[in-house]
Amino acid sequence: MQTLKKYLVTAWQTLFGGPIRAFGVVSVILMLALAIAPAKDHFSQWHGYQRGYLKLIADRSDALSLRRRVIPGLHQIWLPELGVVDRCTTCHEGLKEATLADVPYQPFRKHPAIPHSLENYGCVTCHRGQGPATTVIEAHHSDRAGEDPILPARYIQSGCGQCHQNSLTGTPQLNRGRDTLASYGCVRCHAVNLPGGATITPTDNPPSLVHLADKTTREWVFSWIKDPQAYAASATMPNYKLSDADASDISAFLISSSTPNPGDTATLVTASAKPIDPSAGASLYGESFCATCHAVTNAAGNLVGGNIGPELTRIGNKAKPEWLQAWLNDPRSYDPASPMPHYRFTPQQVATLSQFLLAKSDSDFGANVHLDPATPAQITHGRKLVAELGCAACHQINGVNKPQNYAPDLSRIGSKPLTQLVFLPGMDQTLSTYISAKIKQPRAFGPGLKMPQFTLSNAQNDALTTALLSLSDRSHALPAKLRVTAVPDTTYQPAGHAGKLMTELACFSCHRINGRGSDLAPDLTWEGSAVQRQWLDSFLKNPNTLRPALIRRMPRFNLSDADRKELTDYIMVAYQSPTIDPDTAPSATNPPATVEHGRQLFYSKYACQSCHIADVKTDKGYIGPTLTQVGSRLTPAWIYAWLKNPQALRTGTLEPNQNIGDDDARALTAFLMTLKSSGKQEKK
Amino acid sequence: MSQRSITGAMLLVLAAAAGCKHQPATASAAKPTATGAAIVESSGGKQLGPTGTTLKDPIIVQVNDDQGTALPGALVQFHGPAGVHFEPAEQITDSSGQATATVTLGTIAGRYQLTATTPGKSQPATVQLTEIALGYQQQLGFVLADKYCNRCHDPESSAERVSNYDNLEVKPHPFTEGDTYNKMSDADLLAITQHGGPALNRSALMPPYANTLSPSDLQAILAFIRVVSDPPYRPAGTVYAQK
């Protein structure tokens, strides 16, 4: 104590011992205080980066021009409309310098090329983070309430999705995420309202369960709801992790609530009692191009086929024979909205195909399932579970209403405040990690949570997270003029008997017409202008494939002559393009010299043989349709218009627009019109 | 010298910011029981993915003993430039002598050299793998090239698409063939893509795309060709003149 006192007294004496000495010391303190502000500036982090930038460019050959564009001090991009106050360019000084594309570290590397400018969109619009901050930590990693940290680069496409609701070529991950929201039916439980009010239409086609007992057994239902992917690896239905008792009760209720559908149980009357040729099933399955929509796991363990309809690897375990026959006979009698065509199979064909399909079974699947007859208590409990689990959000079920707002609204999930989230121990406390983990293992977040377990690849998980992150507060707050909406499908429905036929044949499951339908097969909006009537008629009778390399092909429907004529007439009349004028187009027959000139153009100037086959003896091109009979198939008016601008007739077609002039197009049309089918080939 | 230290410091900051936070400091529970002589790639090199994303396939390397047979129980460590993340970064080879890791690419577009190392008897054995991270424009180019060009330019067929390569009298080159493309200037690559083979006195089997693809699409394809070429493309007159 004593020593301290002595020490303090001496210090006082030394500093303020006399007036002059005291004045000097006070002045020094004052000067130091005045120097704090400039020193703080000088030693600030961003100042350090700016000095670093100057050093970096000093060593480069274009140092002078780089130097000229350096602006010292804080930079700011201020865009009130977008809510952007970004000072990021204070440190990220080289973002626009093309020659700095090779700097292997940040913050000085050039920004990769994107379609938008920094000045008009700022940085945080896509990257998130705190634009006004002036330190690295605050700008990138702020986790204070309500503040967004930088978005991990893997989800950057979510930035695009805030304005672009349409599918962009450059954002495959975002597009895939949105498709997954639709194809896994996420939007059936979760409301997702895009900015501007559009919604996402589910595309997963969950079957109605009102006649379930006609189709399958309670044992199959039990095994399926226990583990859908054990039945079909590609199934999109999630796993609810049900106990045996609960699965048993749910299956009891679903079977008991099912009402019979007249027709499902009718026995098939085969005209001739011919025995079924066992090999005929496989070829009928192939000829009918079932694999265009349905997949089967082959011997090598690969899933082969389309995903429009359910996987059929173990269909024999599921389908009751009578039901399968009734379904093959006419899918719409069981499910009026089915995307499957009514093939008009003969009873013999139905028997053949159903026998072939029923053989696709797996003796291990459901082998140990033995259920005692259902008790009323089980059925009551099953109904309760079905209501609680929200089964009716996807499936139509007798006696259970579709739940409203079953799961949380996701319209702004991309900006959900961290304070409203519960994280798992050890997890990074960011929104993107939360969303990703929640999709991956929803039940890990606490007991009693209802969201089921989906089977998704890591890429699907990332894609979904990207799509959800795009549903941000910012996306809703952006000026409406920046919004690019997706063009929704129209509700186009062809009229009359032809319209009814087109519904039955499910043309829209593959073709697009007047803005409705799928793009598996060519758009038919202007098919009437494109093809010759006789060709269309014979094609509908017996579709031979036009593109040898295609895996998905047009199936053959057993249309009656009258129905086929009706359909042909309708297509020829209703699907005419207003821009194709048969009167001014080249005629179908031309002088040999013109034809020869066209041939030369075809093989030399335009080298069409690189993609097409006009003569099977010499040509090998395998990308576009075979043209050996094109003169019997297409109209000269269509060929001429197509050559001049293919994309004008079908957006996005692969055929390059070669800017072919009038004369060349006429000569090429003349040559192509000479490529006719011989009568013999026509009939095959 | 001072530049170096600043660069180093910044790299550290970056690494601290980007990578380290995610690197769980779990010491692998298993101890190595064997020491290999060589390490080779089994699969997973030469993949493409958007920046910052996890590559579709994991990388798999194999440790061999001096007889060249696969060696279980050897330690393998994966390393990469700042921002690359391996899951797991360190492990013991499995019963078939292999080590498998998923790779998350860094945030900078371009080529990533990854190394897998095993201690070895006298000195460590290493193997290098190259992966490519695509920025926005390169990713767009990838999608477009896949749709419009690869049917002719890629000799490989897939289940969904039969290659047309074998049907062409004059053979195009796959876009990864640096020996061909690195010799061509940006202007020449654009010219042949826009106006077809004849623009460079080449075959008309190469069609023109000037009226089919927009200028920005064509730039994107060019950017894609440049980033995938092997050996890597070095633009003439690189301005980085190290003192």
Cβ atoms within 10 Å, residue A482: 16
Task: Return the sign of the alpha-carbon dihedral for residues A154, A157, A161, A165.
Answer: negative
Strands across the sheet containing B110-118? B48-50, B125-134, B110-118, B75-79, B90-92
Instruction: Say if residue A319 is in the same domain as residue A359.
Output: yes
Pairing of strands A295-297, A84-86: unpaired
- Asked whether residue B96 is domain-assigned, the answer is yes
Contacts of B242 in chain A (CB under 8 A): 59
Instruction: Say if residue B102 is in the same domain as residue B151.
Output: no
Instruction: Say if residue A270 is in the same domain as residue A330.
Output: yes
Q: Quick one: pLDDT at residue A680?
A: 44
Q: Which residue of B has its CA nearest to A159?
A: B136
Average pLDDT, chain B: 86
Which of B20, B144, B151, B212 is the best residue to mutate to test the A interface, defined by the most A CB atoms within 10 Å of its own CB?
A: B212
Of A458, A654, A659, the CB nearest to B54: A458
Q: Which residue of B has its CA nearest to A652?
A: B212
The reply to whether residue A459 touches residue B56, judged by beta carbons under 8 angstroms, is yes
Instruction: Say if residue B120 is in the same domain as residue B159.
Output: no
Instruction: Say if residue B101 is in the same domain as residue B129.
Output: yes
Interface membership of B194 toward A (CB under 8 Å): no
The reply to whether residue B207 touches residue A607, judged by beta carbons under 8 angstroms, is yes
Q: Which of B134, B166, B192 is the endpoint of a domain?
A: B134
C-beta separation of A619 from A518 below 8 A: no
Q: How far apart are CA B69 and CA B66, in angstroms?
A: 7
- Asked whether residue B111 is domain-assigned, the answer is yes
Which DSSP string corresponds to B33-67? -B--SEEEEEE--S-EEETTSBPSSPEEEEEE-TT
Give chain A's residues under pLDDT 70. Answer: 1, 41, 145-146, 265-274, 545-552, 679-684
Instruction: Say if residue B46 is in the same domain as residue B100.
Output: yes
Q: State the virtual CA torsion across A413, A417, A418, A423 in degrees, nearest 10.
A: -40
Instruction: Say if residue A523 is in the same domain as residue A540.
Output: yes
Instruction: Say if residue A362 is in the same domain as residue A228.
Output: yes
Cβ-based neighbours of A677, under 8 Å, separated by 6 or more = A628, A629, A632
pTM, two decimal places: 0.89
- Asked whether residue B233 is domain-assigned, the answer is no
Q: In Å, how far are A502, A529, A595, A682 from A665, measured between CA atoms?
A: 35, 17, 11, 27
Q: In Å, how far are A92, A427, A595 from B23, measured between CA atoms?
A: 26, 12, 70
Q: How far apart are CA A203 and CA B30, in angstroms?
A: 47
- Asked whether residue A582 is domain-assigned, the answer is no
C-beta separation of A350 from A329 below 8 A: yes
Instruction: Say if residue A309 is in the same domain as residue A322.
Output: yes
Residue carrying structure tokens 């000495």: A21
Of B17, B207, B208, the CB nearest to A136: B17
- Asked whether residue A684 is domain-assigned, the answer is no
Percent of chain B predicted with pLDDT > 90: 75
Among residues A676, A671, A675, the alpha carbon closest in space to that of A592 is found at A671
What are the tens digits of pLDDT across the range B91-128?
A: 999 999 999 999 999 999 999 999 999 998 889 999 99
Instruction: Say if residue B87 is in the same domain as residue B162.
Output: no
Q: How far apart are CA A66 and CA B164, in angstroms?
A: 47
Strand partners, A634: A531
Among residues A416, A503, A427, the alpha carbon closest in space to that of A468 is found at A416
- Taking the CA of residue A56 and the nearest CA in chain B, the distance in Å comes to 7
pLDDT of B131 over the 90 cut: yes
What are the tens digits of pLDDT across the range B76-94?
A: 999 999 889 999 999 999 9
Q: How far apart are CA B209 and CA B191, in angstroms?
A: 10
Instruction: Say if residue A220 is in the same domain as residue A319.
Output: yes
C-beta separation of A469 from A414 below 8 A: yes
Instruction: Say if residue B77 is in the same domain as residue B125.
Output: yes
Q: How far apart are CA A268 and CA A325, in angstroms?
A: 7
Instruction: Say if residue A621 is in the same domain as residue A545.
Output: no
Q: Containing H/E element for B131? A: strand B125-134
Q: Quick one: pLDDT at residue B20?
A: 39
The reply to whether residue B211 touches residue A656, judged by beta carbons under 8 angstroms, is yes
Contacts of A618 in chain B (CB under 8 A): none
Q: Could you tell me which residue, B8 or B135, shows the higher pLDDT? A: B135
Q: How far apart are CA A678 and CA B2, in angstroms?
A: 82
Q: Which of B108, B134, B160 is the endpoint of a domain?
A: B134
Which DSSP string corresponds to A128-149? BS-TT--SHHHHHH--STTPPP
Q: Helix, strand, coil proportions of chain A in percent (round to 5)?
A: 50, 5, 50
Structure tokens at B48: 């493409």
Q: Which residue of B has its CA nearest to A160?
A: B136
Pairing of strands B98-104, B59-64: antiparallel
Q: Which residue of B has its CA nearest to A644?
A: B211
- Asked whether residue B235 is domain-assigned, the answer is no
Structure tokens at A94: 């080289």
3-class SS string, A295-321? EEECCCCCEEECCCCCCCCCHHHHCCH
> How many structural domains comprise chain A?
6
Cβ atoms within 10 Å, residue A396: 14
Cβ-based neighbours of B67, under 8 Å, separated by 6 or more = none
**What ipTM, to 2 d.p.?**
0.88
Instruction: Say if residue A318 is in the same domain as residue A193.
Output: no
Q: How far apart are CA A572 and CA A346, in angstroms?
A: 28
- Asked whether residue A391 is domain-assigned, the answer is no
Task: Return the sign of the alpha-carbon dihedral for residues A271, A272, A274, A280.
Answer: negative
Domain that holds residue A30: 2-42
> How many structural domains comprise chain B?
2
CATH of the domain at A341: 1.10.760.10
Instruction: Say if residue B224 is in the same domain as residue B141.
Output: yes
Cβ atoms within 10 Å, residue A322: 17
Q: In Å, how far are A2, A24, A32, A214, B36 from A17, measured between CA atoms?
A: 21, 11, 21, 107, 77
Q: In Å, how far are A176, A451, B210 from A438, measured between CA atoms?
A: 18, 9, 46
Q: Quick one: pLDDT at residue B22?
A: 43
Contacts of B57 in chain A (CB under 8 A): none
- Asked whether residue A270 is domain-assigned, the answer is yes
C-beta separation of A312 from A360 below 8 A: yes
CATH of the domain at B125: 2.60.40.10
Instruction: Say if residue A32 is in the same domain as residue A129.
Output: no
Of B151, B159, B212, the CB nearest to A656: B212
∠ CA A460-A465-A466, rounded to 5°: 95
The reply to whether residue B140 touches residue A549, judged by beta carbons under 8 angstroms, is no
Per the omega criterion (within 30 degrees of 0), is the bond before A442 cis?
Answer: no
A-proximal residues of B, 95-154, CB under 8 Å: 102, 104, 107-109, 135-140, 143-144, 147-148, 151-152
Instruction: Say if residue B44 is in the same domain as residue B117.
Output: yes
Q: Quick one: pLDDT at residue B4?
A: 41
Structure tokens at A275: 């025995």
Strand partners, A397: A400
Q: How far apart are CA B234 and CA B109, in angstroms?
A: 15
CATH of the domain at A411: 2.60.40.420
What are the tens digits of pLDDT across the range B16-45?
A: 344 434 444 444 567 889 898 999 999 999
Q: Which residue of A has its CA nearest to B6?
A: A52
Q: In Å, how far are A11, A139, A147, A368, A639 from A144, measured between CA atoms?
A: 45, 11, 5, 54, 64
The reply to whether residue B148 touches residue A620, judged by beta carbons under 8 angstroms, is no
Distance of CA A324 to the CA centre of its chain: 31
Among residues B181, B163, B183, the alpha carbon closest in space to that of B222 is found at B181
pLDDT band for B241, please (50, 70, 90 cuts).
very low
Interface membership of B13 toward A (CB under 8 Å): yes
Strand partners, B133: B49, B110
C-beta separation of A355 from A284 below 8 A: no
Which DSSP string corresponds to B82-103? TT-EEESSEEE--TTSEEEEEE
Indicate the residue type of A345: F
- Asked whether residue A116 is domain-assigned, the answer is yes
- Taking the CA of residue B10 and the nearest CA in chain A, the distance in Å comes to 8
Structure tokens at B95: 């019963």
Cβ atoms within 10 Å, residue A24: 13
A-proximal residues of B, 159-188, CB under 8 Å: 159-162, 164, 166-168
Which of B149, B240, B242, B243 is the best residue to mutate to test the A interface, defined by the most A CB atoms within 10 Å of its own CB?
A: B240
Domain that holds residue B128: 38-134
A634 φ/ψ angles, rounded to the nearest 5 degrees: -100, 160
- Asked whether residue A164 is domain-assigned, the answer is no
Instruction: Say if residue B180 is in the same domain as residue B110.
Output: no
C-beta separation of A341 from A506 below 8 A: yes
- Taking the CA of residue A607 and the nearest CA in chain B, the distance in Å comes to 5
The average pLDDT across B181-185 equals 95
- Asked whether residue B84 is domain-assigned, the answer is yes
The SS3 assignment for A634 reads: strand
Cβ atoms within 10 Å, residue A7: 10
- Asked whether residue A452 is domain-assigned, the answer is yes
3-class SS string, B173-224? CCCCEHHHHCCCCHHHHHHHHHHCHHHHCCCCCCCCCCCCCCHHHHHHHHHH
Instruction: Say if residue A502 is in the same domain as residue A437.
Output: no
Q: Containing H/E element for A177? A: helix A172-183
Contacts of A112 in chain B (CB under 8 A): 51, 109, 135-138
Instruction: Say if residue A21 is in the same domain as residue A52.
Output: no
Q: How far apart are CA B57 and CA B77, in angstroms?
A: 18
What are the tens digits of pLDDT across the range A85-111?
A: 999 999 999 999 999 988 888 899 999
Instruction: Say if residue B124 is in the same domain as residue B142.
Output: no
Q: Which of B134, B165, B193 is the endpoint of a domain?
A: B134
Q: Quick one: pLDDT at residue A589?
A: 84
Among residues B227, B195, B205, B188, the alpha carbon closest in space to that of B153 is found at B205
Instruction: Say if residue B147 is in the same domain as residue B224.
Output: yes
Which of B21, B84, B107 is the best residue to mutate to test the A interface, defined by the most A CB atoms within 10 Å of its own CB?
A: B107
- Asked whether residue A490 is domain-assigned, the answer is no
CATH of the domain at B197: 1.10.760.10
Instruction: Say if residue B46 is in the same domain as residue B129.
Output: yes
pLDDT of B242 over the 80 cut: no
CA atoms within 13 A of residue A315's CA, in its CB half-sphere: 22
The reply to whether residue A551 touches residue B159, judged by beta carbons under 8 angstroms, is yes
The reply to whether residue A659 touches residue B11, judged by beta carbons under 8 angstroms, is no
Q: Which residue of B has its CA nearest to A91?
A: B10
Of A48, A55, A656, the CB nearest to B209: A656
- Asked whether residue B80 is domain-assigned, the answer is yes
Instruction: Say if residue A359 is in the same domain as residue A280.
Output: yes
What are the tens digits of pLDDT across the range A62-88?
A: 999 999 999 999 999 999 999 999 999
Task: Return the sign of the alpha-carbon dihedral for residues A246, A252, A257, A259.
Answer: positive
Structure tokens at B68: 């060249």
